[in-house]
């Protein structure tokens, strides 16, 4: 089950051959207390805790998991950071213009946080010969499983595993003129994008290089997603690199020449 309304995340998860349903909540906007186990396991990132994408991904996955007892749940969240400041989705075109002017000619970082909640019925990852994969898998966090009736009695004693991860990529913007910024903002694409640009869309024309995972900048780092889902017991997933190329072909894009860009 995918806890995200993002069309790009839907597309990328589908390229892996996964069968999934979508359930969204407003959990990432909540100010509810976070278990100490989650706070202690969050990977390091250069931003205030309230913007930490792995924490926001956990909020999404945890909220959905309370309604999906027997499903593996995936949550993801992406933030753009420059000079230690998080650039969220612009409030209006004027703010989008300011963000793009700030990014112009500079390198910034994009962080995508991930959280996978293991299905209650398969809390222990299956045996596998993918030794390297599981050695790289973060240790699961075991948290009490909260669920309304008819599972209330079971939930009081149940514990469910969660895995947390983060992927960081660096993005190099080309120097932009005021006319280029104005023209891009006028397309409307920046309005619902963190940092006011979409790498997979027309915003890709503004980028000189990506160092790290291309799909992490889009909001769904395929290699990390495959690793976490397999660790939670999901089988039959396609290879991340093959899925990356298939998705690019679907977007009618050529593989990027920017080394060392990864899936």
Q: What are the residue numbers of the active site?
A: 77
DSSP at 200: T
Instruction: Find out whether 201 and 207 touch, Cβ atoms under 8 Å.
Output: no
Nearest by Cα to 8 from 78, 60, 73 = 78
Residues whose CB is less than 8 angstroms from the CB of residue 118 and which lie 6 or more positions away in sequence, other chains included: 72, 125, 140, 160, 161, 162, 163, 232, 233
Phi and psi angles of residue 112, each rounded to the nearest 5 degrees, phi first: -115, 120
Q: How far apart, in whole angstroms, are the C-alpha atoms of residue 221 and residue 1?
A: 17
Q: How far apart, in whole angstroms, are the C-alpha atoms of residue 146 and residue 120?
A: 11
Nearest by Cα to 82 from 102, 60, 112 = 102
Q: How far apart, in whole angstroms, are the C-alpha atoms of residue 96 and residue 193?
A: 9
Q: How far apart, in whole angstroms, are the C-alpha atoms of residue 64 and residue 24?
A: 7
- Going 178 to 184 to 189 to 193, the CA torsion angle's sign is negative
Compute CA distances 17 → 126, 194, 234, 236, whole Å. Answer: 19, 27, 11, 7
């Amino acid at each position: 089950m995918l806890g995200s309304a993002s069309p790009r995340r839907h597309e990328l998860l589908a390229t892996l051959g996964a069968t999934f349903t979508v359930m969204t909540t407003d959990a990432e906007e909540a100010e509810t207390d976070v278990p100490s186990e989650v706070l202690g396991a969050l990977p390091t990132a250069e931003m205030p805790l309230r913007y930490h994408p792995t924490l926001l991904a956990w909020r999404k996955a945890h909220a959905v998991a309370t309604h999906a007892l027997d499903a593996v749940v995936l949550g993801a969240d992406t933030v753009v950071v420059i000079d230690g400041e998080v650039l969220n989705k612009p409030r209006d075109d004027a703010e989008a213009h300011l963000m793009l002017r700030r990014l112009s000619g500079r390198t910034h970082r994009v962080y995508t946080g991930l959280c996978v909640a293991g299905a209650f019925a398969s809390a222990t990852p299956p045996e596998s010969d993918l030794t390297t994969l599981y050695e790289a898998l973060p240790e699961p966090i075991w948290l009490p499983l909260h669920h309304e009736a008819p599972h209330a009695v079971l939930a009081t004693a149940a514990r469910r595993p969660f895995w947390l991860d983060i992927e960081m990529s660096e993005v190099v913007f080309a120097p932009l003129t005021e006319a280029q910024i104005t023209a891009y903002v006028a397309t409307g694409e920046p309005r619902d994008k963190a940092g006011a640009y979409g790498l997979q869309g027309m915003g890709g024309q503004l980028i000189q290089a990506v160092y790290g995972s291309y799909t992490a900048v889009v909001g769904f780092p395929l290699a990390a997603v495959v690793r976490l889902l397999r660790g939670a017991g999901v089988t039959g997933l396609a290879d991340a690199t093959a899925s990356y190329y298939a998705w690019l072909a679907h977007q009618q894009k050529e593989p990027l020449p920017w080394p060392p860009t990864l899936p």
